[in-house]
Structure 1
Amino acid sequence: MCRGMRRRIPTFYMIMLLALTLTTASSLNAVRCQAPYVKPTVLRPGNVSGVVVLKIYPDDSVGLTETFEANLEKPRWNVSIPRICINMTSRPVGGKVEQRASGFVEMPESPDPKVEEALEKMVLDIVAKGSGNENETKWHVNANFSLPETIEVSVELSSYGNVVEKYSDINITLEVTLYYEALNMTKSDVRDIVVAWPILRGLIEAAVIQASDELIDLSIKLEDYTIGPDSATLLFEARVSGNLVEGLRRFIEKSITPSTPVTPPAPMPEIPKEAREVLEAMLSLLETRYAWVEDAEFNMTWDREDGAFVFEGYTVYGGDLGKQYKMVWTTLLRAQLTFMAGKGREDVQKLALEVYDLVTNSEFDVDELTVSMDVNLDEGYAMLNLSGLKIKPKSIPDFLSVVSLASEVMPSNRLTLVVQGSSDAEEMVEVEIPLAAEEYIAEPVAVGGRYRIEWRFKKLGAIDRLKLIKKPNTIGIIDFNYIEVKKTVDGAEYVVEIFTNSSLVEMPTFADDRLEITVSGVEGTLGALNASIPKTLVNGVIVILVDGELVKPSVKLMGESYVVYATYSHSLRKLEIVWSPPDIKITVDRSEVDVGGEVEVSGILRVLGNPMAGEKVNIVVDGVRLAETVTDEEGRFSARLKLEKEGEFTVKAVYDFVDQSFESEGVMVKVVLAWYQNPVILGGMAAAIVVAIAVIVILSRRRSF
């Protein structure tokens, strides 16, 4: 059944549905999740904790981020439930959307040693590849399963679906090898299967064809078989074709009751009306209406060491994936309303209707959707992280009104709601509670400057009356998250404002000389950070360490704060905004030089042991700046000075950082007159020359007489 569904909805699409419909939980780590253990307890509203962030954009859309943890009551039945861990990320690529998924399904330990022994020997390998366009979809699946000396199964499936004509064609080749002893079978049992197969085949084919009003054509053949002394091999060929979705819908409408000629020995029970409506609604999820698979690959294997099914893969979608998701969500909500009709609390039914109306009248952007979940019912915990979902409601007040109703119907002191302004390339949004509405809106837990307000998710009141102010984007970051960090120094409280397009994994922490932030983002995208740090907190040059590697930020002085801006490649990153006095060292190639001679000054500029490349350094002689140079990639610099004055001089290197200047230690250079530069010697020599010339002249005249 799953393979037949996969031709219409790739595995990763089904993963998304599971992640969005379960009130579960997750981790940001990779495939294995490594989720912390939560002591199991009875699930009540007070045992669900988390944060819901609503980011308001200038185009009146809302970004949704959710993080939930829940303590669950252990199931009362004796059957253990597998642990499920899934991570899915989406990103736009060349006008399409690529979704990548990975995870595992960890099987619980069985009290039966035979089952454990079988799992240790089991082999499973599934590879599925898909391709298509807006008109058709093709899938090819190879699967191999075996329990050595027990059973071996090999499946090859090829499918073709024509969206326009609503036609599907699935061909399946199935080879099964049965080992008599392990399965407690004999050759006679296999022969009975072979003999009975034509009758069984006729019953199955006729039931499906008739119940689907001949919209589905099914053919199952026992193509070949071999009955050996220890095992038997059966080869089946099957083909399913027609309008599968509509055929299944007809099948459900008839409650799976075939006509008299093919009635099985025991009549099939009728499906209740409510269940039929839900099943029919779920069938619409199999239809490709607005988005289609262009390229996909999926792999699943059985990890015997960890006792888990491990999977990973990707899907590239064309079309409008947001509309496809909207169809999915409205269908699921409609199914939920069908179940709830006339049952339970009226306020819950009202909330469900409001949510359904909101979804129906909204547009969705899922191009950067990320879902991460980890569910372990046996251990009693569940976690979910969801981010990157953008909703364009009919209006922001309508959206906030539904949120307020939810806080009335399902209040929780352990859930936090954050309403935050965000930005596009041109504008940014500020959020505030108008004075006229203060008495009608619940008191916030915290207010973060002009951009962020936090409440407990309990009787929020008229939050639809929040004031949203649009202003020019002055921070240079699109789609920012905002956080404030406070630090007290000498009794005075200072606030650091942080804007980033990354997700905050942990709250920022302060040390004496740095601010540490752990962030994450979709790999392959660019992260950006803008931080406003009061001057009082900074003593030195500001740099940023990204996972320990130095990144030179842009730093400007605005008022009484330094504004720091930097970019980095997205992943799970540790960012450290560090301020430290620079280390400047210089040397000269000679300590004494003649007047008018040149001295070469060399040096190096470092911060926290890291070279500072591309920085201007001034060479100063007795407080006078005589030369300017630029550091190379290793932070080294050099300049030649021509000294025209006799005396002893102190040479220093000066580095200017915004409004601060830092000097190296001074190096003494002595400038002296060469003997040929001394005026006394030169005067004496001139006089001697004059006297010599005079003597020569006199002697020459005497000789002439």
Structure 2
Amino acid sequence: VNETMKIYIAPGSTSHEEVEIEMPSQYMNFTKIVEGKYEIGSNLQILSHMQFKVRPNKYRVADYHIVKVKPNIILATNSTIVEHAFNENLGVLNIKVQGVPGSQGAMNITIPRDIVESQNAVTITVKVDGQKVNAKISKDGKNYYVYFTYQHSVHLIEVIFSKLQAIQIQAPQQVAAESPMEIIVACLDQTGTPVSGATITLYLNGEQIASLTTGPDGRAVYMLTLKEGKYTLKAQADGVVETATIIATPQPPILLIIATIIVIAILASILAILKKRHEKAAGIKQS
């Protein structure tokens, strides 16, 4: 190997797993990290001492690289970041990206909770070239995580932090009483973005029947058997409240349904017979 040759070793990743390189301490003086890659010069013996471990890819972005945005915002993406800026006054993170046209781009943004809360924001909206995209937003005790995909080209991405102003409830208006069923309730903000962590409470005549918290997709799923009556759904999140109504109506008895079908069938048969007789009688008169 030519001694002037430089050899780089870089870990790779899929959207589910990634490779971690562990370099023995005695070789650290002979290597350096350049843009996430190990530069080992022409010393190939180091390769036999490297250890490679496979671990879950927490960013869910294949072949990602990390870009840090002040203050402490992390972008994990497979796109090339052309420029980025965070406007604290407007509460907007602007990112310009590019990539090979036709390939899929992906990004997972880690945003410290104190940054979001300093904006008095409880909802995060992502737009690509001015069009809202369906981003998956989750959070833990330290950070918010914003994941979304797009087709590669040159794009301007906007991550907008805003205060919750209104809640929309999506739920069935009428269900069958006395029948076990799955009732899905979706909670959205004023932009149509799912609201996670909202409390959805179901009442009958002012009495609480059940209460759930929406997940990252803004949904809460009830498995219930409701008695006949008029129910109230109440959604609460960050001081904003919205209500909706679900009416549980009795189901027609099975025997009544069967009897109705039989009666209809009999009536149809009688009408058919009468029609044939009428046609036959008309034929006789003409002859």
Q: State the TM-score, normalized to the length of structure 2.
A: 0.52
Match of 1:664 in 2: 240
Alpha-carbon distance in 2 for matches of 1:496, 1:522:
25
In the alignment, what sits opposite 2:75? Answer: 498
The corresponding residue for 1:611 is 192
Match of 2:66 among 471, 478, 482: 482
Cα RMSD of the aligned pairs, angstroms, is 4.5
Contact 1:606 1:612 in 2 (8 A): yes
Q: How does 1:217-616 map to 2 (within 5 A)?
A: 354=2, 402-403=5-6, 420-424=10-14, 427-431=17-21, 434-441=24-31, 452=36, 465=46, 467=50, 469-474=52-57, 475-487=59-71, 495-506=72-83, 508-512=84-88, 513-539=91-117, 540-558=122-140, 560-584=142-166, 605-607=188-190, 610-612=191-193
Q: Which runs of 5+ in 2 are unaligned?
A: 169-186, 215-228, 244-287
The 1:419/1:576 distance shift into structure 2, 3 A limit, reads farther
What is the Cα deviation at residue 664 of structure 1? 1.6
Write the distance in 2 (CA, Å) between the matches of 1:479 and 1:453: 13
**Residues 463 and 435 of structure 1: CA distance in aligned 2, closer, same or farther (over 3 Å):** farther
SS of equivalent to 2:101: coil
Judge conservation of contact 1:422–1:481 (CA < 8 Å) in 2: no
SS in structure 2 at match of 1:611: coil
Query: Is residue 424–residue 473 contact of structure 1 (8 Å, CA) maintained in 2?
Result: no
What code does the residue aligned with 2:69 have? V
* Structure 1 residues 419 and 518, CA gap change in structure 2 (3 angstroms): farther
Kindly tell me: are residues 503 and 578 of structure 1, through their superposed partners in 2, closer, same or farther at Cα, counting changes over 3 Å? same
CA contact (8 A) 1:546 1:576 kept: yes
Q: Which amino acid aligns with 1:612?
A: T
Q: CA deviation at 1:480?
A: 2.1
Unaligned runs of 5+ residues in structure 1 are 1-352, 356-400, 405-417, 488-494, 587-603, 631-640, 645-650, 655-660, 668-705
Query: After superposition, what is the alpha-carbon deviation per residue over 1:438-497, rounded to whole angstroms, capped at 9, x for unaligned?
Result: 33335x6x88xxxx2599xxx96869848563323423222223323342xxxxxxx433
Deviation, structure 1 residue 423: 0.9
Alignment partners' CA distance in 2, 1:547 and 1:454: 36
- The residue that corresponds to 1:14 in the other structure is none
Give the number of equivalent residue pairs.
198
| Residue of structure 1 in register with 2:278 after alignment | none
> 1:424 aligns to what SS in structure 2?
coil
| Distance change >3 Å, CA 556–CA 486, structure 1 → 2 | same
Q: Which moved more, 1:514-523 or 1:431-440?
A: 431-440
Q: 1:612 to 1:497 in 2, by over 3 A?
A: closer
Q: CA deviation at 1:554?
A: 1.5
Give 1 or 2 for the bigger CA radius of gyration: 1
Local SS of the residue matching 1:436? helix
User: Is the Cα–Cα contact under 8 Å of residues 484 and 498 in structure 1 kept in the other structure?
Assistant: yes
Amino acid at match of 1:522: V
| 1:553 counterpart letter in structure 2 | A
Q: Deviations over 1:80-112 (max 9, x none)?
A: xxxxxxxxxxxxxxxxxxxxxxxxxxxxxxxxx
Shift of 1:643: 7.7
Query: Within 1, Cα distance between the matches of 2:123 and 2:148?
Result: 15
Task: Give distance in 2, aligned partners of 1:559 and 1:420.
Answer: 32
8 Å CA contact retained: 1:620, 1:653: no
SS state at 1:439 partner:
helix
Q: The residue matched to 2:5 in structure 1 has which SS?
A: helix
Percent of paired sites with the same residue:
24
Determine helix, strand or coil for the equivalent of 2:100. Answer: coil
User: Equivalents in 1 of 2:45, 2:94: separation in Å?
Assistant: 35
Deviation at 1:584, TM superposition (A): 0.8
Question: 2:12·2:63 contact (CA, 8 Å) conserved in 1?
Answer: yes
Query: How far 1:583 moved relative to its partner?
Result: 1.8
CA distance in 1, matches of 2:11, 2:107: 16
Report the alpha carbon displacement of residue 429 of structure 1 after superposing the two structures with TM.
2.3
- Superposed counterparts of 1:123-142, under 5 Å: none
TM-score, L = length of structure 1: 0.24
Tell whether the 8 Å contact from 2:125 to 2:193 is kept in structure 1 after alignment.
Answer: no
1:631-670 deviation line (CA, Å, top 9, x unaligned): xxxxxxxxxx9489xxxxxx9632xxxxxx4332689xxx
